[in-house]
Structure formats: C-alpha cells, structure tokens
Amino acid sequence: MPYTAELNSTTIDPIAFRNACGGFATGVTIITTKVGDTEHGMTANAFMSISLDPPLIAISIAKTAKMLEYINKSGRYGVSILAGGSEATAMHFAGRPNESVTDPLRQLDGMPVARNACAVFTTSVEQAVDAGDHVIFVGRVRCMEALAEETPLVFHRGRFGKLHEERSNPILNPDFPFEGGHW
C-alpha cells in the first residue's frame, strides 16, 4: 500500500522516506580519505557533480559515521564510482569485511581510490554544509581518471544491479558544447 504524507508534514516516517528515495537508481561509490598513514573508506550512493567550472563534486556523510571525523581532519576525500561486478568491494566498505577483497585500493594524488572503478576523483574540501543528520562536503576536483569502457554498478530498491542495455552510440555526445558549457 502506498505511503502518503502531506508536503508540510513533520510526521514522515523515516523508513518509508528511505524506501521511497530507494526508488531512484544510483551508482555505487567508495568514499575514501587518508589521515596520517591510515586510509579510511566507506560505501555510499550520495554523490553528485555540482559544477563544471570550477570542477566540484559533493558527497553526503551521516553525522554518526566515523568518516565525517576523518574527512574533517584530512580536508580531502576521494570518490570511486564502482564498476559492475564490484559488489564484494561495495559490501566490504559497507561494514561487511570480505576476505576475498584483497588490496582494493590504490593511490592517486596522495589519496586512496578503488581499483575496480569506472571513474575516480580526488578532491580538496571547499565547503561543509550542515544538512539535518548529514553533512554535505563540496570538494574541488584535483585529479580524476575515467574508463569509458566500464559500466557502473547500480543500486536500486536495496539491491545491486547493472545496466540492461547499452546503446552503441551515447545519447549525449560528451564533446558537444551545450549552452553555457552544461548539459
């Protein structure tokens, strides 16, 4: 049965809200940082691009997550968009260690990033925004790598998945200069 809440209601059930948001298919990322010689990582799907000029991306971290303190201390973070077939790596960094996941990280720009990734970014924190029970970190991209031939790991309604159909030609030509340089 559908859950309905008034737009201005303060009684929206958190579980129903999470489940409704789970209807939006996302990629799966590993958020990483380094404090001293210690590397830290966590699985997340709260990631987005913010700006092309300057190149900015954002992540959202729960205030209860250990990662919040680590990013605040380091002032930097990495984002790795996991490739299809990386479910074990995603679960490993989601707090379910897996012995089959050995040496999952490599270095880029002095930051740890995932080996099994479609794209990786390293950033310096530009801004931290308090947002309810989370903090949104806006990071200026310092370095990135992307593998166009990789397809992403997808997450939808609490399950991993993959893209079912790849078109031979992209819908959007990445070299096409859209109005204002944005698409």
| Rounded Cα–Cα distance for residues 15 and 133 (Å) | 14
Give residue-wise pLDDT tens across range 36-58. 999 999 999 899 999 999 999 99
CA distances from 17 to 26, 47, 58, 95 (A): 16, 18, 21, 23
Contact 112, 34 (CB under 8 A): yes
For the chain, the structural domain boundaries read 26-156
Contact 123, 76 (CB under 8 A): yes
pLDDT at residue 30, as a whole number? 97
pLDDT at residue 141, as a whole number? 98
* pLDDT values of the chain reduced to their tens digit, one per residue, 183 residues: 555 555 555 788 888 887 887 776 788 999 999 999 999 999 998 999 999 999 999 999 999 999 999 999 999 999 999 999 999 999 999 999 888 999 999 999 999 999 989 999 999 999 999 999 999 999 999 999 998 788 899 888 788 887 765 666 655 666 665 555 554
Q: Is the whole model's pTM more than 0.85, yes or no?
A: no
CATH number of 26-156: 2.30.110.10
Residues 6+ apart with CB under 8 A from 149: none
pLDDT at residue 5, as a whole number? 52
pLDDT at residue 159, as a whole number? 82
